[in-house]
Amino acid sequence: MLALRVNKKSLSVRDIAKPDNAEEALVRVLVSGICNTDLEIARGYAGFNGTIGHEFVGVVEKTGERVVGEINAGCGKCELCRDGDSRHCATRTVLGIVDRDGAHAEFLQLPAVNLIRVPDSLPDEHAAFTEPLAAACGILERVPVTPDDRVAVIGDGKLGLLCGQVINLSGATTLMIGKHDTKLRIAARRGIETSTPKEAAKRTRQYDVVVEASGSASGFKLALDLVRPQGKLVLKSTFHGTTEINAARVVVDEISIVGSRCGRFAPALDLLKRNAIDVDSLISEEYPLAKGVHAMKRARTKGVLKVLLRP
């Protein structure tokens, strides 16, 4: 089968053996989505070598059922796994990120317990957004947001736009901060207030919750400027690099810094089924898997949002 592989920061589409673990489900990939984590892995993030990709919709070869899949595969034995949440299992593998070949391939494998049926009414292109939308929904797992809250989301990329839409649905007063007019218009069409970083910087210490989804040092600094004393700063991006933290500001203003990674798939699928989230506007381009290297280059291009691969 064909697969988009990373080996020591080198990208290539290779013909490799189809996975054949008899203890896991074999899934034929219909559509996969390139995300910023894939781009960072190609630059060396997480030290991963193998098939990348973790956003997908596919068909279980044995049953013909169309599914998406939770990306964390746990040991099945620890307390976390027994409680039905393998996201922090100490020995977990993670699809296309940690010790498990990923979704930019013709086939992938995951434990059957990780797979969730996709509603028949949901197009493949929408279902492929389940994982990143679940990550956006995961913010509400980590930080309760009410209609009385003021929330700012920094970053108008794919993840930031999903985060902004999810938070806006909670009823909170939501501000989307970004540098690209075309991307900010996507949020504005959903009734979300938008701003540039320069304009937003005038609103110091006004927000109960600030979500940093830009993956940049400047975004983190702006987030600290915007969050009110005793407010919450949610870190949403993963990227290859380090960020300096103004620890004095965090301590003096008693700011809570919260990490947020993966979310549950069921709420995301429900939002997609109800057409409550605009994902069509986030799709920029689509390529066959054989052009995966070119697709990754396009995904890095300024102004490009979601790039899909179709085996």
Read off the pLDDT of residues 4-24 as tens digits, 9 standing for 90 and up: 999 999 999 999 999 999 999
pLDDT of residue 241: 66
pLDDT of residue 131: 98
pLDDT of residue 263: 94
Mean pLDDT of 196-216: 96
pLDDT at 237 over 90: no
Instruction: Report whether 223 contacts 210 (CB < 8 A).
Output: yes
What confidence category does residue 225 fall into, taking pLDDT thresholds of 50, 70 and 90?
A: very high
pLDDT at 181 over 90: yes
pLDDT at 50 over 80: yes
Mean pLDDT of 202-211: 97
CA-derived radius of gyration, the chain: 19
pLDDT of residue 291: 98
pLDDT of residue 244: 80
Instruction: Report whether 170 contacts 190 (CB < 8 A).
Output: no
Q: Structural domains in the chain?
A: 2-129+279-310 (3.90.180.10), 135-259 (3.40.50.720)
Nearest CA to 56 among 11, 141, 114? 114
Mean pLDDT of 181-189: 97
**By percentage, how much of the chain surpasses pLDDT 90?**
94
Work out the burial of residue 133: count CB atoms within 10 Å of its CB; fewer than 13 is exposed, 13-18 middle, 19 or more buried.
buried
d(CA 125, CA 202): 39
pLDDT of residue 240: 58
pLDDT of residue 239: 63
Q: What is the mean pLDDT of the chain?
A: 96
